Structure 1
Amino acid sequence: MRFRAPRSLSPPSPQRKHRHSSTFGLNSSSESDDESDADSDSGDSVPESDSDSDSFCYASETIPSNPKQPSSRPSHVEDTIAAIRLRTRHHDPYEEWEREMKKESLRAARKNYSDAQANFHRYQSQRQLEESRRLAAAFKQDETQILKALDGWRLDQQAHENHLREMLNERNERLWGRIEASIKLEQDKVQARLDEERRIKEETERKRREQEERKRQEEERKREEEQRRKWEEDEAKRKQEEEQRKLREEKEAAAREAKERDEKLKSEAENRKAAGMTTSEDDWEEARKNLHITKTQGTRFVKANPSFKRIWNEGRRSITAKIGQLTNDDTDYQPSVSILLPQTGAVPPPIYTALLSTLAKALVLQAETEITAEKRSAIPLAQTTFNCLEQLEGFSEVLFAKMNQRIGPWVIPCPIPEKDFDGRAWKDDTEARKMQGYRLGEDGAVVETQNEYTDRVKGVMRLYFSVLKIVPRKAPLKKMFQLPRYWTWMARMLGSRTLLATPVGAEILFIALEVLGADALQIWGYQFVKMLHLIYDGATDGLGDGKLLGGSSPDGIAARARVKLEVESIMSGVR
């Protein structure tokens, strides 16, 4: 510890001047010696700056020199120095404790400071780590957003580039289109000129070739006409010879069959007359005679009389309309007869006969068209026909004659005789074919095909067999529409190989078996079985003399197969 003497107050001065040392009225040399001794004893040192800083004086102040100061120091100074020396050498425990406490406090403070600094550094490191993570996450998010923005900008840029590229391509296409159109226009002009030149050249060449071709064709045509004329003459001659041969063979076969039949009929004439049976020729002549009477005393007579013709036309229109309205309901049949035709005596006999002919023709025409298209339509038509036969007087003869007129003698059946019922021979083959039921034109030629003719015959014959199948509710019908007529028809058909050898004959035989075959088996039993056996043998092995059932045509072969199947079906009982 350093003690200093108090400084004397100096008067105020605007300027202050430092002094290098303060002696408090002592010599600097003696003071320095004493202080040096004290410092050496106590071990303390005082920096020079302390004495220098406390020593100052004013510039106006002058330190007076004391010439009278003795060379030896005064006693109070010595005491002071001695006290100072004593003080410096004194050992104070409190001060020692205070110094130790300061050291401990400083050491504790330093330790606390170092711990606080370590905690601070750890906290700062943690905060820096968290901040770095937050900054990294924010940077990552910003980076993602930036990448998204860049991707969006890139897509927009690509779309813009694509749009510009498409516009450029469209522009190029339009440009090249105009260029190509211009080129094509020029090419078309050149091509048109070349085509025109080529066309003119080809036209000239074509005319030359056509002229040569016409000349060649004319020569070829003349040569072909000459060859065709010769071939037609030869073919016509051959056909005529073939037809004459066939006609001669048919006539010879028919003559042989007629001779055999006549001989057989002569031998059976008495028995047939006793039984009241007729031959096929008798039935055909009777049908032709009834048809002639119906025309002369009915239709032709009515047409010649205007008053009768008016009544007949009204009835004819009514009959045509009613026949076309038939159904499968049995209740419609009975009242239809009363409105189809008036009873006998209600109109004059010629009109009644003409109306019977009209009704018969309407029924036959309906059979030719409707039954040909759908065979089930034969049921209502057959019932209506049966009712008319049962209730209308004279209708049986007229209907049978009309059937014989429309389809030929198949309803009897028999070959066409050489003469009419009155003994008149046929004018030519055209009239004979008309008697067979073929439709002829004004020039006498057949106006329908063989299939059309066969279909018409099949429709009418299905109607005929369907009428035979119906059981009478009152009195029996005329003999040509009774059920035993079926046996007669089958016997006559099987007895004529000429009819069986035609496709039409085989088709009609199949219809007869289909409609009434099963019923005939129940009625005639074993006798009909023998007839079926005969039919099956004819369909399988032939009719003899090289003839086949139905002939050798495709239609005949198909009809023969159907006949065989129908016979097998009847014998097996499976329908």
Structure 2
Amino acid sequence: MRFSAPRSLSPSPARRSKSKSKRKIESTSTPRRNTSTFGLNSPSNEDDSDIGSNGSGPSDSDYDTELDSSEVSSSDSDSFCYGSESEVPVPPPRPSRLSLRPIHEQRFIEDTVAAIRSRMRYNDPYEDWERETKKDSLRVARKEHIASQTQFRQSQTLREAQESKNREELHEQQRHEVNSMLEKLRLNQQEAERVLREKWQQREKMLWDRIEKGIKLDEDKVKAKVEEERRIREEEERKRKEAEEKRLAEEKKKKEEEERKRREEEEERKRIQEEKETREREAREKAERLQAEAKNRKEAGLTTADEDWVEVRKNLNFIKTQGTKFVKARPDLKPIWGAARRQITPKVGQVTNDSESINRVSAELIRILRPPNPHPREVYTALLSSLSKAFLLQAETEVTAEKKAVVPLAQVAFNCLDMLEGLPEVFFAKINQRIGGWGIPISLPDKDFDGRPWTGNAEKLKVSGRRDGETEAEYTDRVMGIMRLYFAVLKIKPARQPLKGMWQLPRVWTWFARFTGERRLLETAVGAQVLYVALDVLGKDARAIWGFQFVKLLALIYEGTTNGLGNGRLIGGTTPEGIAARARVQLEVEAIMKD
């Protein structure tokens, strides 16, 4: 195997150009015997041939020289060297120009050619160094090749040994796995044989059990048939006795039921009669008391609950006939009322608990109802109704959800009641229209203010403030929200002059006195809730104003929540809502008395 080191190009451009010029001159003068870097006869090549001829045979230098010549001929693509003299092309004959020149020019040319030839025979030390470097490189490459081959053979031997070892280990592992698999198959076969034997034994046992069960079944059928016949006879006898006992029991129960119904009817009759007599007595005593107090009440400017009810119903009738319905029927008045009404609702919803907002909203509402150019009387009445309805709707939504929301709303309502003429009567009438007679308070009378009886239950429900499809809880929440607003307005102290009678603080005592005298209201869950709201809003202020008298009233209320109202019934009734409301009333009375 031969190795050759590539010949590097000469780094000197001047030398490369000189070599090219020398090769050109040599090619034009005489043929070359040996090839050199410059295209002329090189004395170094002759030395090399002499070295190769001495000795007993070819040496490393001869081998290197051959490699160098082959490399030069194959790798140096930029030189015009040939492998032998036979490859050198014969130059075409040219006509001799010396004969045409003068003698001194011919001599000058010959001297010049001779100087060039002598110059060309110069031995270049760089080429000697390059040649030695190639030889050294070849020796180093040969040593490295031998070392790499030795290392490769050693690594190959080690790899073959390692692979042989790995194969033996793999074969051993596979042999172990095969033995394990065979052992596992043997155990599985033994387990399958055991399971098969057990199944066979169970099948045999089941077969004999089935045979025995068949025999026993036939025996049981005979016994069951005999037992069934005996049971049927006993069942028929038992049914006959039960029918006889049931007939006797039903007859007895029927007699007892008839007796119980008769007693209940008698008790109910007595109770109704007693309640009727009680109501008549209370009504008579109330009428006598009112008649006796009529003079003093008239002098004091006080009214009864019935008189307030009649007044409220009259005001409602006036609002409808001379206000809302009248305006809706007039095309010239309806747009005025509609434009102002659409401004009222957003203003009421903008109220927040700060004095600036309260004063601003109050002034804007008053300006809407009392503009520089006053509204017609009918439009003004209809707007008073719309303003009252806006306050009540806000109380039903906001106050029901958050009790603190009643404070700014009550202050705005108080400012409007103070500044707008006719609003106290309209507002109070609208309260009793939406929730019934809780603001007076009074139980629903049997007749209207004009003496006309109610046409049916639908009209009675409407007058009491209830709506179609409304649950008891929803009705209670609405009543509590509106009554909290009413009590909060009563609590506010006027700055310049008191409001109308139904909006003054003394109305609180009148309301509590009337409410504690209406047992039918106190026995309902809604009544207990309204009583709690009144105590929560006005209880502490009422005690501070009326002192011991109000404490006696609180004692009467507490007695009604613990021992009853004198007829065996408690405040709030027996419903879960009433029981919860009664507990709130008790806690509120205790809280008022602790302060």
- Structure 2 length normalisation: TM-score? 0.54
Aligned match for 1:517, one of 527, 530, 539: 539
Aligned match for 1:356, one of 384, 393, 399: 384
Query: Partner residue of 1:411?
Result: 439
Aligned partners of 1:254 and 1:498 also within 8 Å: no
Aligned partners of 1:357 and 1:402 also within 8 Å: yes
1:561 aligns to 2:583 (yes or no): yes
**Rounded Cα–Cα distance in structure 2 between residues aligned with 1:448 and 1:254:** 30
Structure number with bigger Rg: 1
Aligned partners of 1:461 and 1:511 also within 8 Å: yes
1:533 aligns to 2:555 (yes or no): yes
AA aligned opposite 2:511: W
Query: Partner residue of 2:213?
Result: none
Over the aligned positions, Cα root-mean-square deviation in angstroms equals 3.3
Query: Partner residue of 2:96?
Result: none
Runs of 4+ in structure 1 over 2 Å off? 241-260, 337-342
**Rounded Cα–Cα distance in structure 1 between residues aligned with 2:345 and 2:281:** 45
Query: Partner residue of 1:279?
Result: 304
Deviation at 1:551, TM superposition (A): 0.7
Deviation at 1:243, TM superposition (A): 12
**Rounded Cα–Cα distance in structure 2 between residues aligned with 1:331 and 1:506:** 37
Aligned partners of 1:502 and 1:556 also within 8 Å: yes
Aligned match for 1:336, one of 361, 372, 377: 361
Map of 1:223-372 to 2, 5 A cutoff?
254-340=279-365, 341-343=368-370, 346-372=374-400
Deviation at 1:257, TM superposition (A): 3.2
Corresponding residue SS for 1:396: helix
Query: Partner residue of 2:29?
Result: none
Distance 1:536 1:150, change over 3 A: farther
**Rounded Cα–Cα distance in structure 1 between residues aligned with 2:577 and 2:415:** 35
**Rounded Cα–Cα distance in structure 1 between residues aligned with 2:383 and 2:273:** 42
**Rounded Cα–Cα distance in structure 2 between residues aligned with 1:391 and 1:425:** 37
- Structure 1 length normalisation: TM-score? 0.56
Structure 1 gap segments, 5+ residues each = 1-145, 163-240, 440-445
Query: Partner residue of 2:216?
Result: none
**Rounded Cα–Cα distance in structure 2 between residues aligned with 1:335 and 1:415:** 39
Query: Partner residue of 2:43?
Result: none
Deviation at 1:510, TM superposition (A): 0.6
Distance 1:313 1:564, change over 3 A: same
Deviation at 1:253, TM superposition (A): 5.3
Deviation at 1:250, TM superposition (A): 7.0
Query: Partner residue of 1:125?
Result: none
Query: Partner residue of 1:18?
Result: none
Corresponding residue SS for 2:581: helix
**Rounded Cα–Cα distance in structure 2 between residues aligned with 1:451 and 1:485:** 28
Aligned partners of 2:297 and 2:303 also within 8 Å: yes
Query: Partner residue of 2:506?
Result: 484
Aligned match for 1:458, one of 463, 476, 480: 480
AA aligned opposite 2:338: N
Aligned partners of 2:350 and 2:361 also within 8 Å: no
Deviation at 1:339, TM superposition (A): 2.2
**1:509-544 CA distance string (max 9 Å, x none):** 111001111111111111111111111111110001
Distance 1:251 1:466, change over 3 A: farther
Query: Partner residue of 2:569?
Result: 547
**Rounded Cα–Cα distance in structure 1 between residues aligned with 2:575 and 2:274:** 19
**1:37-84 CA distance string (max 9 Å, x none):** xxxxxxxxxxxxxxxxxxxxxxxxxxxxxxxxxxxxxxxxxxxxxxxx
Number of residue pairs aligned between Structure 1 and Structure 2? 347
**1:228-270 CA distance string (max 9 Å, x none):** xxxxxxxxxxxxx999999988766544432221121011111
Distance 1:306 1:572, change over 3 A: same
Corresponding residue SS for 1:468: helix
Aligned partners of 2:369 and 2:383 also within 8 Å: no
**1:161-204 CA distance string (max 9 Å, x none):** 99xxxxxxxxxxxxxxxxxxxxxxxxxxxxxxxxxxxxxxxxxx
**Rounded Cα–Cα distance in structure 1 between residues aligned with 2:399 and 2:486:** 12
AA aligned opposite 1:292: N
Distance 1:305 1:570, change over 3 A: same
Deviation at 1:320, TM superposition (A): 1.2
Aligned partners of 1:379 and 1:466 also within 8 Å: yes
**Rounded Cα–Cα distance in structure 2 between residues aligned with 1:459 and 1:243:** 37
Distance 1:312 1:522, change over 3 A: same
**Rounded Cα–Cα distance in structure 1 between residues aligned with 2:489 and 2:470:** 27
AA aligned opposite 1:553: T
Taking every aligned residue pair, what percent have the same amino acid on both sides? 57
Distance 1:464 1:248, change over 3 A: farther
**Rounded Cα–Cα distance in structure 2 between residues aligned with 1:436 and 1:452:** 14
Structure 2 gap segments, 5+ residues each = 1-160, 178-265
**Rounded Cα–Cα distance in structure 2 between residues aligned with 1:401 and 1:306:** 27
Corresponding residue SS for 1:419: coil
Aligned partners of 2:515 and 2:522 also within 8 Å: yes
**Rounded Cα–Cα distance in structure 1 between residues aligned with 2:169 and 2:272:** 103
AA aligned opposite 2:307: D
Q: Quick check: 347-356 or 365-374, which moved more? A: 365-374
